[in-house]
Amino acid sequence: MGIGSGIALFVIGAILAFAVNLDLGGVANLQTIGYILMAAGVVVFVISLVFMFRRRSVESTTRSTVDPASGQSVTTRRTSDNGDPLV
């Protein structure tokens, strides 16, 4: 499931909640089912956004030290593009 699935759930729920006026005896109120689908669509959409931004994050670590033998500054930089811990 992704962003498109969340949007689709929301749209289907909105159609059931606001546009369909049917009275089905064996099924619960279609308006309530529409609201539930809309809420599920929002949840799926938000979770998909969180995972998308989490995958794209770039972490970097910079360490500066002074070499005691030469007195020069040494800088080390490590980056991780996929969220793996930096070693």
Instruction: Decide if pLDDT at 56 tops 70.
Output: no
Structural domain including 29 reads 1-56
Number of H helices, E strands in the chain: 2, 2
- When divided into structural domains, the chain yields a total of 1
Task: Determine the Cα–Cα distance for residues 52 and 1; give it in Å rounded to an integer.
Answer: 12
Q: What is the mean pLDDT of residues 3-20?
A: 93
Q: Which tokens go with 10? A: 């929301």
Phi and psi angles of residue 78, each rounded to the nearest 5 degrees, phi first: -125, 140
Instruction: Decide if pLDDT at 86 tops 50.
Output: no
* 67 within some domain: no
* 87 within some domain: no
Looking at residue 76, its pLDDT comes to: 74
Q: Read off the pLDDT band of 87 (50, 70, 90).
A: very low
Task: Determine the Cα–Cα distance for residues 53 and 87; give it in Å rounded to an integer.
Answer: 22
Cβ neighbours, 10 Å, residue 56: 10
